[in-house]
Amino acid sequence: MTAMVKAEGVHKSFGAVQVLKGIDLEVAPREVFCLIGPSGSGKSTFLRCINHLEKVNAGRLYVDGDLVGYRQQGNKLHELRDREVAAQRRDIGMVFQRFNLFPHMTAVENVMEAPVHVKRESKAVARERALRLLDRVGLADKAGSYPAQLSGGQQQRVAIARALAMEPKLMLFDEPTSALDPELVGDVLDVMRDLAESGMTMIVVTHEMGFAREVGDALVFMDDGTVVETGHPRDVLTNPQRERTKSFLSKVL
């Protein structure tokens, strides 16, 4: 079975700062893969490399068997054209900390936007799916509302519906609850739980250890640009093997 995501020796630097120092990971189809670790450990950067929002300096990343961002000829890598990168990204949904909704569009228009403009879908087809997705994330009654009229949790659920509108085979979540008031976190996690149960492959950078424990199939602890420990979430959280993992978890659990 082809891994949904495979990282081989992925390195990424910003100037002289090495952010990723040779990441090797595999994410199976339908797996919920959680990444935890301190700020600055490289989790979000790794996520952004998966859909080529950041270019890797060395190593290779594959999504569903396809090399991300490059074409290999012999031993040489050639960067794909923007159009080809955009085509790869269509299959990868991404949800950010900040919701990044278009403020001048209603919830349903935000969700319709990419299918209409990227996939050239008819507005009628895109609207029908958008309304169905808003219902799925518990916001059927907010279809006509603008982002400014929605709470942070509601905006984040619209952002998830928007990512799902492109019918991706992989969803990336970059700390999707960290900008939310505590009482709004549960609604967003419920939507993610529902997605996991439906079989969506998900990579989730999170501080929500309860979510990782309950919903995650695999957990990776990253620190200083490296994978320190990996295993089943319950094993890593209750019985970490590495001192660095123990130290981190003692502060957050």
Would you place residue 252 in the very low, low, confident or very high pLDDT band (cuts 50, 70, 90)?
confident
Flag the least confident range among 12-16, 20-24, 68-72, 223-227: 68-72
pLDDT confidence of residue 97: 87
**Nearest Cα to Cα of residue 170 among 80, 72, 82, 95:** 95
Provide Rg for the chain, Cα atoms: 18
Residue range 75-84: mean pLDDT, rounded:
88
Mean pLDDT of the chain: 94
Spatial neighbors of 5 by CB under 8 A, at least 6 apart, are 25, 26, 27, 33, 50, 61, 62, 63, 170, 201, 203
The percentage of the chain sitting over the pLDDT mark of 90, rounded to a whole number, equals 86
pLDDT digits (tens, 9 = 90+) for 189-205: 999 999 999 999 999 99
Q: Model confidence over 102-111: pLDDT tens digits?
A: 999 999 999 9
Whole-angstrom CA distances from 30 to 26, 112, 195, 201, 203 are 12, 25, 10, 4, 10
Q: Which helix (H) or strand (E) holds 210?
A: helix 209-215
Domain boundaries of the chain, sorted by first residue? 5-250
CA 56 to centroid of chain Cα atoms: 17
Tell the CATH topology of 5-250.
Rossmann fold (3.40.50)
Q: pTM for the whole thing?
A: 0.94
Residue 99 pLDDT > 90, yes or no? Answer: no
Of the candidates 20, 90, 95, the residue with the CA atom closest to the CA atom of residue 55: 20
